[in-house]
Amino acid sequence: MLGAARRQLGSGHMLAQVLRRLRPAAAASTEAARGYSSAAKEITVRDALNSALDEEMSADPSVFLMGEEVGEYQGAYKITKGLLDKYGPDRVLDTPITEAGFTGIGVGAAYQGLRPVIEFMTFNFSMQAIDHIINSAAKSNYMSAGQINVPIVFRGPNGAAAGVGAQHSQCYAAWFAHVPGLKVLAPYSSEDARGLLKAAIRDPDPVVFLENELLYGESFPVSDEVLDSSFALPIGKAKIEREGKDVTITAFSKMVGYALQAAEILSKEGISAEVINLRSIRPLDRAAINASVRKTNRLVTLEEGFPQHGVGAEICMSVVEESFEYLDAPIERIAGADVPMPYAANLERLAVPQIEDIVRAARRACYRALPMAATA
């Protein structure tokens, strides 16, 4: 498999869940809530990812794709649609159901100067390959004193989808962000998906690229700049999706949309919330987070992963270390419930953050509601 890929480059489970869940936002306020200016057109996150892969494969013959159903089936979520026909089976490689096998092949290819993009049908399956990701990809540059670069991207859907139970609903942001040597990205919008995936493929180090299944079909406005083939976003830089002065809300991936909707509700109550789209989990844009907190004097962190040792916990500590004297209220941390994901729909909803949770936390931070301790 790898030999075929290298010859070509040298010369020139489970079926996908097709559930889509639109965020419950009023259409009239969607663009305002998202914080976008006027844009030329809208594209889906799915198409943004597909175009990024296509353009990077066209620009660099060392880029190739590998994973389950990425070729003939055109991707479990159709992210790789059309790429097999365009680039052939030596650069779009269907694999057996063996994450440990094809991930190891990908890491070995990266050692040799190729740029593999490894797709996991869900990041829950990456646990089968975690030794290759952490002990081989993440550590080789350091252990070789900089002699070995590992330019590889591990991508696929991460976090909760809908009705797929505890073994297919975990958020791995904190897991992989814990590891020196990895870069961890989590896009929200089409601009994020396109710009960050291009940056990840071009990067000389291993990148874990955490998408969200429920965002694939959502459309976002994009500018002509974003659609340019040279476009890429800087790794390690957050984006202020909505400016505010009363409270800072940090979020990533699907939770950014929830934060924006909560900010819209809060604005009707006279609370001006600043929403930060983290984009990059490792490296974390601590400067942007602390600058915002020093302006608003309040912080709400938001994630759908487990609370203990989570991304929000790291953000809280960063603010305590660097901006504690600016805080006018205790930090509020919102995360998924500290339980395996339930299968029942009513319990599943209780296990992940909801918009009303964010609104209540922001009210508490702004002393518009009783603290949790007082209502217990």
Residue of 168, 191, 218, 264 marked active site: 168
Per-residue pLDDT at 129 exceeds 50: yes
Comparing 119 with 40, the larger pLDDT belongs to 119
Residue 368 — pLDDT band, cuts 50, 70, 90?
confident
Confidence (pLDDT) at 182: 98
Q: Are residues 213 and 290 in the same domain?
A: no
Q: Are residues 191 and 275 in the same domain?
A: no
Element of type H or E holding 333? strand 332-334
Per-residue pLDDT at 299 exceeds 80: yes
pLDDT in tens, 219-234: 999 999 999 999 999 9
d(C-alpha 102, C-alpha 66), whole Å:
7
The domain boundary, picked from 227, 260, 292, lies at 227
d(C-alpha 153, C-alpha 107), whole Å:
10
Q: Which residue range forms the structural domain that includes residue 309?
A: 239-366
C-alpha dist (Å) from residue 59 to 12, 45, 156, 306 = 11, 21, 22, 39
pLDDT in tens, 263-292: 999 999 999 999 999 999 999 999 999 999
Residue 22 — pLDDT band, cuts 50, 70, 90?
very low
Q: Are residues 132 and 76 in the same domain?
A: yes
Confidence (pLDDT) at 34: 46
pTM of the complete model? 0.87
Q: Are residues 136 and 275 in the same domain?
A: no
Residue of 69, 99, 119, 213 marked active site: 99
Residue 39 — pLDDT band, cuts 50, 70, 90?
low
- When divided into structural domains, the chain yields a total of 2
SS3 211: strand
C-alpha dist (Å) from residue 225 to 110, 125, 217, 234, 327 = 30, 35, 22, 14, 37
Q: Are residues 216 and 295 in the same domain?
A: no
DSSP letter at 346?
A: H
Tell me whether residue 15 is in a domain: no
Provide the token pair at 357: 């949770």
99 given a catalytic annotation: yes
Task: Name the E strands within 85-238.
Answer: 92-94, 115-119, 153-157, 183-185, 207-211, 219-222
Tell me whether residue 75 is in a domain: yes
Q: Are residues 220 and 244 in the same domain?
A: no
Q: Are residues 245 and 106 in the same domain?
A: no
Tell me whether residue 359 is in a domain: yes
Q: Are residues 213 and 306 in the same domain?
A: no
Angle between helices 286-296 and 311-323 (to 10 degrees): 60
The domain boundary, picked from 227, 261, 291, lies at 227
Q: Are residues 222 and 272 in the same domain?
A: no
The domain boundary, picked from 201, 227, 253, lies at 227
Confidence (pLDDT) at 106: 98
Task: Name the E strands within 125-251.
Answer: 153-157, 183-185, 207-211, 219-222, 239-242, 247-251
pLDDT in tens, 301-332: 999 999 999 999 999 999 999 999 999 999 99
Quote the mean pLDDT of the chain.
Answer: 90
Tell me whether residue 322 is in a domain: yes
Phi-psi region of 245 (alpha: psi -120 to 50; beta: other; left: phi over 0): alpha
Residue 370 — pLDDT band, cuts 50, 70, 90?
low
314 given a catalytic annotation: no
- β-sheet with 239-242: strand ranges across: 239-242, 273-277, 247-251, 299-302, 332-334
The answer to whether the CB of 362 falls within 8 A of the CB of 271 is yes
Confidence (pLDDT) at 161: 87
